[in-house]
Homo-oligomer: A and B are copies of this chain.
Amino acid sequence: MIKLLVAGTVAYDSIETPFGKAENVLGGSALHFTNAASFFTDVGIVATVGADFNLEDIAFLKERNVDMAGLEVDSQGKTFRWEGKYNYDLNQAITLKTELNVIENFKPKVPPQFRDADFLFLANIDPELQAHVISQVKSPTAIVLDTMNFWIESKFDRLMDVIEKVHMLIINEAELREITKEHNLVKGARKLIDRGPSCIVVKRGEYGVFMMSEEELFLAPAFPLEDVFDPTGAGDTFAGGFMGYLANVGDASFETLKQAIVMGTVMASFNVEEFSINRIKKLSYNEIKERYSAFKGVMQFGECTL
């Protein structure tokens, strides 16, 4: 039985950053998520690819106990493709081209052996599909949802229906403001908590993460990197580290959530060091643990001596 289930996309990306170019490389929310999460727990993946997808390229994930039973190969279609670039402000992706291809008619099916998963991550897909995934699982400890401005603007009511059904949201700052019409993070997070979720995680790019539950707050800066090479997938890698850690520990107490936020931050900091999934693919446990400690180091300070 898998502990963690993700529903999202597997894609071929073409990316240009100020530091180089990569064409038709592995990408997609579910793939970045799984690549990170599988360091910590068994992961089941629900997604679709086309006949052009080379399954060999992700065979390495099986060695990390990733179950591909939910990866549908649509022999009539082509894999989802995204083309984008970044200027020196690496926080802002500029989409050059999106080919939905097999995503267009995707209806995610959760294989029976995945339905008992304790943790479920709904990556950024149509809120109606997210609702459809929720309807197929039993009673996870935590359902966590991501979304994007496109769904906020085009399917607001459907999105709010899903938000009422999940335990946590992982969204970025601009999305929180757009959903809640609140500029202030504390006020915005409270509005969402009033609608159902018990915890809101707000990604602030190079500025780190803000997490709020009904009664508690946690703030973590991003890991200060000298060389950010390609930010594509950083958000999903963050979510993968976060939920992989939760599933590993097996609870969602605020103490565990804080450590999970740091683990997400650590994994995201590795992801941006190379194109695509390359850096995380070859990562070691020791590197992960060392960076977690280093991160703790740059945030620690003493009591007030007054």
Contacts and interface: CB of A to CB of B under 8 A. Distances in A.
Contact of A219 (B210, B299, B303, B305): B299
Given A186-B225, A221-B220, A299 B302 contact: no
A28 to B, nearest CB: 26
B305 A224 contact: no
Interface in A252-306: 255, 258-259, 261-263, 285, 288-289, 292-293, 296, 298-306
A186 B249 contact: no
Interface string A173-211: 000000000011111000000000000000010011010
A56 interface: no
Contact of A217 (B187, B224, B289): B224
A299 B299 contact: yes
Contact of A296 (B220, B228, B303): B303
A244 to B, nearest CB: 10
A283 B204 CA distance: 31
How many copies of this chain? 2
A219 B89 contact: no
A300 B204 CA distance: 19
Contact of A301 (B187, B210, B258): B258
Contacts of A101: none
Contact of A306 (B185, B204, B248): B248
A218 B298 CA distance: 5
Nearest to A185: B224
Given A224-B185, A228-B184, A304 B219 contact: no
A224 B302 contact: no
Contacts of A186: 224-226
A19 to B, nearest CB: 12
Q: Is the interface of A mostly helix, strand, loop or mixed?
A: mixed
A289 B303 CA distance: 10
Contacts of A301: 218, 220, 255, 258-259, 261-262, 296
Interface string A155-188: 0000000000000000000000000000111110
Contacts of A185: 224
A285 B303 contact: no
Interface centre among A258, A261, A298, A300 (most CB of B within 10 A): A298
Contact of A88 (B183, B221, B304): B183
A299 B40 CA distance: 24
The 7 A-B residue pairs whose C-beta atoms are closest, nearest first, are A219-B221, A207-B207, A258-B301, A292-B304, A186-B226, A217-B298, A88-B183
Given A184-B225, A184-B228, A204-B207, 16 more contacts: A40-B306, A184-B226, A207-B207, A208-B219, A210-B224, A217-B224, A218-B301, A219-B299, A220-B221, A221-B221, A255-B301, A255-B302, A258-B302, A293-B304, A296-B301, A299-B299
6 contacts: A88-B183, A184-B227, A186-B224, A207-B207, A207-B208, A248-B306
